[in-house]
Structure 1
């Protein structure tokens, strides 16, 4: 086993978490920055209808990412625990089965681009004015889905073996390339929204070549070969079962977008859909560092759980919760203090700025508690505890947010404001559910006073 995987069970937790989380945070930051810049170019080069088209098409893309994410995260959990338990052969087989599933998923998406894309967009709320922009954005992405699925799933696998720096590189390469290509295709070649989409596909294709070289040249702890590229039903079931919460969370995000867009069109119009398209990109930018922290934690948690090292497991979880809470406080302060300035990055239209600033202040009113929600669901996933991971993954978006989005606009003539209010209410409810699970499993997650005393004795100079 390579040193990058062995250190998951030996290196001091604060140092190890920093080594794994900071590259993940940088990678997520760059990815989020690319999403913001992408929206900025579309807003400046096409207009608010172009942003609305992307906003309508994005849920379809989220479903594609949901499948790849479920396979990648589920596979990463299996691989981390198998490596921790010295089951190298099974870990290699898991990798082979992940690749097989990605080929199947991308084939279905590519066929869908040529057959049922327009009806799907109508189902997701595209109006006649928005449809051309949504089609231009989504068709190239679905046609080139093999690059998205492979890159998205492989990133989780690379991180699961402890190679966080390379995982970061696989996120930075497409993001930087996309930022460079966007103005060329959108403005230089006058391709509008379609140009942004093609730039994204080219960027993802480039990083797939880099990832392929990583595995083929033996830089990974894992091995690939014909003997591992055979469907093993037991492994497939385990990967999908553990990855199910991630799939549901992403699909829930897609359903949430559909519900929000429908309510915004009903109580406002296409203008509000465009405004939310901008706010949603800012929201992704805000939570990406917390997701990066979680991605750094998951291989440590999975490996030490597999190795039955409870002390390191608990120390990782407690530190992660503390850091994520600090991040939540920073997001809360920034979003409530300067929402107007954030909107000005995308547009100079006063109406868009005012509407977006109001939405941001309401949506992030309870942002101070979102860190614990993100960390808790991911922890259960890393441990292979699918049932609580599943419930926590669907809680905020599907159990709370979607019903609130559909109900609140009708109450007290709230209209569009009711859509925004649904966010902080859902955050509060999801937080209490996360707190309940963490308290219920506190013996597994948190270090007791006696355990802390024993750890201090082991690490003291006199011991």
Structure 2
């Protein structure tokens, strides 16, 4: 399929466009999550403390990756909007500005995290896992610029409808990581830090291939080396769309670290964190269709916004919401029926095997929260496409405030499944809130667009 064909799909039937873009994104996110779970599976043989250290560091790692993804999502929205408005040069300029901003941001963030890493982990973990957490985190800290820049590259590709290319990059990254994990962890006797080193190497490979792809002529937007200069107008548009998304991802992922700290405050300590974090990571596998559809919705609805086509914009959201929530619900019910089989790979060692009954009980309850959580990426993506990322950010803060409140109540209980019930309560209230705000925002934006001359209203 040529670059022009991909753009034709992006600008065509919204339902077909959402499906066409979501399928490679689902595969991409699936491989990415399998990659994360593979790390946990290999490290399960290292014992309870290693699994707890992964649970402590993972939210910090995902926050860093999320900052890069936030820039990428902002770039994707603006690029698609420009393509929809037939402003190809501006779309290319926006891609260049996102590259410049991503590199500068990564360079600035690296020394900040490096200097504050140990103090941060001291707050997020307990003394018995602090040392191993610091060792596991260090490779991520040293290569922050790569972790951030990878998300920027993916966003540029998605913005021009080239989601299959971003899928290829993610698959390559996962394959390299999964292949290196046992070598680094066991063959070279690096232990837990070997897992993060493998992830960094895999990310470097993926990022380098992505850069070569963007600079080639295989994508719709022409980006040459001579185009790399500052453009104030495009940078402003990028920051307006990207910064709120960066903050939303930072809130989303770093709040996991805060919730982990609350779990560690329970009477069970690091044991509770292991029992809680493994099923919760499995739930992230279940919600992948909604996350992929939400990501696919951004360029599709953004291009409709750029075309000033209200009906196409609305239709894309309704379809995305229906198919996304339904798919996640079906997957959650499958996990509910087969929880032990789903958890087996994470509890094969003697120490972890003892945790399996508690993890099964936790997983069964968690299956009821994930369908509510699925509203978040889809509604957030639609508000980003309509040019209101700030509202999505505010709702993310509201959701996490709810979760903190319910978690603090849950850790007072003797049964660890109370934490899972806290997730159900928090996400159900948050789902209703974000859906109502999204529908009201959509109505407001549609009325404004239809009141202007030259708007398509049918």
- Write out per-residue CA displacement over residues 7-41 of structure 1, whole angstroms, 9 at most, x where no aligned residue: 14553333332221111111111111111111100
Secondary structure at the aligned position of 1:116 is classed as helix
Q: 1:12 is matched with which residue?
A: 13
Aligned pair partner of 2:403 in 401, 413, 429: 401
CA drift of 1:43 comes to 0.8
8 A Cα contact 1:327 1:371, kept in partner: no
TM-score normalised per structure 1: 0.89
Secondary structure at the aligned position of 1:298 is classed as helix
Aligned pairs for 1:233-272 within 5 A: 233-267=232-266, 268-272=268-272
Aligned pair partner of 2:377 in 362, 371, 374: 374
8 A Cα contact 1:55 1:277, kept in partner: yes
Q: 2:55 is matched with which residue?
A: 55
Residue-pair matches, total: 443
Q: 2:229 is matched with which residue?
A: 230
Q: 1:358 is matched with which residue?
A: 361
Aligned pairs for 1:142-181 within 5 A: 142-181=141-180
8 A Cα contact 2:294 2:320, kept in partner: yes
Q: 1:26 is matched with which residue?
A: 27
Q: 1:454 is matched with which residue?
A: none
CA drift of 1:77 comes to 0.9
Distance 2:48 2:201 in 1: 25
Distance 1:145 1:108 in 2: 10
Q: 1:214 is matched with which residue?
A: 213
CA drift of 1:110 comes to 3.1
Q: 2:129 is matched with which residue?
A: 130
- Write out per-residue CA displacement over residues 174-202 of structure 1, whole angstroms, 9 at most, x where no aligned residue: 01111111111111111111111111011
Distance 1:442 1:147, change over 3 A: closer
CA drift of 1:390 comes to 2.3
CA drift of 1:440 comes to 2.3
8 A Cα contact 1:317 1:445, kept in partner: no
RMSD of Structure 2 on Structure 1 (CA) = 2.4
Distance 2:144 2:366 in 1: 32
- Write out per-residue CA displacement over residues 121-170 of structure 1, whole angstroms, 9 at most, x where no aligned residue: 1122x222212221222111121222211111211210110111111111
Q: 1:304 is matched with which residue?
A: 304
- Write out per-residue CA displacement over residues 255-287 of structure 1, whole angstroms, 9 at most, x where no aligned residue: 432232222222111112222332232122111
Q: 2:81 is matched with which residue?
A: 81
Distance 1:428 1:414, change over 3 A: farther
Q: 1:67 is matched with which residue?
A: 67
Q: 1:389 is matched with which residue?
A: 392
Distance 1:115 1:437 in 2: 40
Distance 1:355 1:311, change over 3 A: same
CA drift of 1:3 comes to 0.8
Distance 1:113 1:431 in 2: 33
Distance 1:445 1:179, change over 3 A: farther
Q: 2:452 is matched with which residue?
A: none
Distance 1:433 1:256, change over 3 A: same
Q: 2:202 is matched with which residue?
A: 203
Task: Name structure 1 gaps, 5 residues minimum.
Answer: 447-457, 459-463
8 A Cα contact 1:331 1:367, kept in partner: no
8 A Cα contact 1:256 1:401, kept in partner: no
Task: Name structure 2 gaps, 5 residues minimum.
Answer: 447-457
Q: 2:436 is matched with which residue?
A: 436
8 A Cα contact 1:110 1:145, kept in partner: yes
Distance 1:253 1:112 in 2: 20
8 A Cα contact 1:109 1:143, kept in partner: no
Distance 1:359 1:440 in 2: 35
Distance 1:417 1:281 in 2: 15
8 A Cα contact 1:63 1:250, kept in partner: yes
Distance 1:141 1:223, change over 3 A: same
TM-score normalised per structure 2: 0.90
CA drift of 1:382 comes to 1.7
Secondary structure at the aligned position of 1:129 is classed as helix
